[in-house]
Amino acid sequence: MEQIKKWIATEEEIAEGKTTDVYFVRTKQCLDKDNLSDTKVWTEVTTGGIPREGKQFLFLGLYDVLNLFSKANLDVNVYSIKEGTILPNNDVNGVRIPFLIVEGMYGDFAIYETPMLGYLCFQSGVGTAATRLRIAAQDKTLLSFGIRRMPPEIAPTIDRACYIAGFDGISCVLSADKLGIPATGTVPHALIMIEGGITQAVQSFDRHIDSDISRVALADTFNDERVEVLQALEALGDKLSGIRLDTPSSRKGSFKDIVQEIKWELKLRGREDIKIFLSGGLTEDTVKEYRSFADGFGVGTFVSNSPTVDFAFDIVEIEGKSIAKRGKFAGKKQVGFCNQCQIYLCEEFHKSAIKCPSCAKPMDKMIDLVMERGKILNAIPTELELRDYVKKQLNGKLEI
Ligand SMILES: [Zn+2]
C-alpha cells in the first residue's frame, strides 16, 4: 500500500514546496547566495489563450492558492479577480489581463509558482468546459459523470467546478457530501447483466432503493433501445420516470431517430412525461445537436479531461520599477470592467478611476486585495454563492 500511496503528494509536502520544479529551488539557492532573495517583486498570473478556441473562461482555483500560501506561512500580499468570474484573457487593447497578483520578496514564494499554477490551470480548465456545456445544454438537465477518467483524489475538485458552472447533479458520493446535495445516477450495465435483463434489474432497483430516488432505466444493454424501454415500462408502470441511453457508437446510427421512436412509443402509451437522458462520449457539439430532442445529458470525459487554461506567472515590477520579459506587459495593473459595454480595460494599478473607452462611464475595478501578509482577508464564498455568481454572469449568454 505504501508503495502506491507514495505517488500522491500530501498536503504537507505541497505546503513545504516539494512539488515545485527543481529550477525554482536552484533559483532560490542562487538568490540566497547573492543576497537577492529579498528582492521585492510584483508578479502577475496571465494567459495567452483559452482552450478549445474559447473567447472567455471561468476563473477557478483562487482559494486553493490562498490556502496553500497560508499553510506555507508566506509573507505575501495577493490581489485577485473574484473566483467564479467569467472573462477573456486579454483586454480591449490586447493587453493580457492579470487574474492574480503576488507581491512580496521573490525568494519567499518562488518555489510555489508550480503548485499555484497547477490549481489555477486545472480548475479553470474544468470549470470552463463545464460552463460551455451548461450553455450548450440550455435548460436541459446536465449531470457530471466524468470522475472515473481522473485520479479519485481530485474527484471532488472536478465536481465542485461542475457544480459552480451550474450542473444539475454530480455522481460522486463524496463530492455530493461536500456540496450538501444528493448524488445523482441511474444503474450501470453490470446490474442488468447480473440480474438477467432489464425487467429483473428495474424490479430489483424498485424493491431495494428508497422510493424517493427516481426510477430511471438504462435501456440499451442487450436489445434494441425501443424494446428495452417498453420492457422497463411494463415492469415499473407509473413508477418509471426516465430512460437513460448509453448506446455504443457501433450501434448508434442516428441517435435522434432512436430517441424519436422511443418518444413516439411512450406517447402512444400516454407517457410523454418520461424523460430521456443521454450519456456516453458526449461533447459540447453533440449536446448542442441532441438538446432539441433529449431531456438531459450525463457528461464525462469532455469535462474531467478538459484542456487546462495555460496560465503563466511573470514578474512585472522589481523594487518599484516596471519590467517585463518579451511578450509580456510591464508594470502594476488594475482591470476595469464596464458591465454595460462588456469591455475590460487594463490600467495602471493606482489610477483612482478607470473610464470605459466606449461609454466613458467609470468602470468597476476587478482586482481586490484578498491576502495581506499571508492572511486571507475575506470570508471564503460558499460553492452555492459561486454558482449563483456564475449563473448571474451567464444570463442570456450564447457562448463564452
Ligand atoms: Zn461602457
Q: Are 36 and 110 within one domain?
A: yes
How many domains does the chain contain in total?
2
Work out the pLDDT band at 248, boundaries 50, 70, 90: confident
* CA distances from residue 111 to 23, 36, 376 in whole angstroms, order as listed: 9, 15, 20
146 found inside a domain: no
50 found inside a domain: yes
Task: Please tell me the distance between residue 367's alpha carbon and the centre of ligand 1 in angstroms.
Answer: 18
Q: Are 282 and 346 within one domain?
A: no
155 found inside a domain: no
CATH number at residue 373: 3.20.140.10
Residues contacting residue 24 through CB under 8 Å, at least 6 positions apart: 110, 111, 113, 114
Q: Are 237 and 215 within one domain?
A: yes
Task: Please tell me the distance between residue 136's alpha carbon and the centre of ligand 1 in angstroms.
Answer: 28
Indicate whether 4 pLDDT > 90.
Answer: no
Task: Please tell me the distance between residue 82's alpha carbon and the centre of ligand 1 in angstroms.
Answer: 20
pLDDT of residue 6: 83
pLDDT of residue 5: 73
Q: Are 40 and 82 within one domain?
A: yes
Q: Examine the fold and report which residue of 294, 328, 361 is the final residue of a domain before the chain moves on.
A: 294
CB 276 within 8 A of CB 262: yes
Task: Please tell me the distance between residue 218's alpha carbon and the centre of ligand 1 in angstroms.
Answer: 51
Average pLDDT, the chain: 96
Task: Please tell me the distance between residue 390's alpha carbon and the centre of ligand 1 in angstroms.
Answer: 21
pLDDT of residue 2: 64
CB 368 within 8 A of CB 360: no
**Grid coordinates belonging to 10:** 500530501
Q: What is the span of the domain harbouring residue 245? A: 186-294
Task: Please tell me the distance between residue 336's alpha carbon and the centre of ligand 1 in angstroms.
Answer: 10
Query: In 280-317, which positions are buried (b, 16+ CB within 10 angstroms) versus exposed (e)?
Result: bebbbebbeebbebbbbbbbbbbbbebebbebbbbbbb
Q: Are 120 and 6 within one domain?
A: yes
User: Which burial class, exposed, middle or buried, applies to 385 when counting CB atoms under 10 A from its CB (0-12, 13-18, 19+)?
Assistant: middle
142 found inside a domain: no
328 found inside a domain: yes
CB 282 within 8 A of CB 247: no
CATH number at residue 270: 3.20.20.70
Work out the pLDDT band at 396, boundaries 50, 70, 90: confident
Q: Are 7 and 96 within one domain?
A: yes
38 found inside a domain: yes
Q: Are 319 and 263 within one domain?
A: no
Q: Are 120 and 15 within one domain?
A: yes
pLDDT of residue 1: 58
Q: Are 326 and 266 within one domain?
A: no
Work out the pLDDT band at 356, boundaries 50, 70, 90: very high
342: left (phi over 0), alpha (psi -120 to 50) or beta: left
C-alpha closest to that of 181 among 390, 387, 391, 393: 387
Task: Please tell me the distance between residue 368's alpha carbon and the centre of ligand 1 in angstroms.
Answer: 21
Task: Please tell me the distance between residue 340's alpha carbon and the centre of ligand 1 in angstroms.
Answer: 5
C-alpha closest to that of 85 among 58, 66, 109, 103: 58
Q: Are 46 and 84 within one domain?
A: yes
The more confidently predicted of residues 255 and 88 is 88
Task: Please tell me the distance between residue 307's alpha carbon and the centre of ligand 1 in angstroms.
Answer: 32
Give 231's Cβ-side CA count (13 Å radius).
Answer: 21
381-394 pLDDT, tens digit each: 999 999 999 999 99
**Distance (Å, rounded) from C-alpha 2 to C-alpha 35?**
41
324-350 pLDDT, tens digit each: 999 999 999 999 999 999 999 999 999
Task: Please tell me the distance between residue 44's alpha carbon and the centre of ligand 1 in angstroms.
Answer: 25
Task: Please tell me the distance between residue 400's alpha carbon and the centre of ligand 1 in angstroms.
Answer: 19
Task: Please tell me the distance between residue 362's alpha carbon and the centre of ligand 1 in angstroms.
Answer: 8
Task: Please tell me the distance between residue 355's alpha carbon and the centre of ligand 1 in angstroms.
Answer: 8
Task: Please tell me the distance between residue 139's alpha carbon and the centre of ligand 1 in angstroms.
Answer: 30
279 found inside a domain: yes
Q: Examine the fold and report which residue of 294, 329, 352 is the final residue of a domain before the chain moves on.
A: 294
The residue whose grid cell reads 459561486 is 386
C-alpha closest to that of 214 among 301, 158, 141: 141
Task: Please tell me the distance between residue 343's alpha carbon and the centre of ligand 1 in angstroms.
Answer: 7
C-alpha closest to that of 17 among 2, 5, 27: 27
Task: Please tell me the distance between residue 342's alpha carbon and the centre of ligand 1 in angstroms.
Answer: 7
**Distance (Å, rounded) from C-alpha 174 to C-alpha 156?**
7
Q: Are 341 and 372 within one domain?
A: yes
Task: Please tell me the distance between residue 88's alpha carbon and the centre of ligand 1 in angstroms.
Answer: 16
Task: Please tell me the distance between residue 93's alpha carbon and the centre of ligand 1 in angstroms.
Answer: 14
CB 172 within 8 A of CB 323: no
Task: Please tell me the distance between residue 87's alpha carbon and the centre of ligand 1 in angstroms.
Answer: 16
Task: Please tell me the distance between residue 300's alpha carbon and the centre of ligand 1 in angstroms.
Answer: 39
Task: Please tell me the distance between residue 337's alpha carbon and the centre of ligand 1 in angstroms.
Answer: 8
164 found inside a domain: no
Q: Are 280 and 329 within one domain?
A: no
Q: Examine the fold and report which residue of 245, 264, 294 is the final residue of a domain before the chain moves on.
A: 294
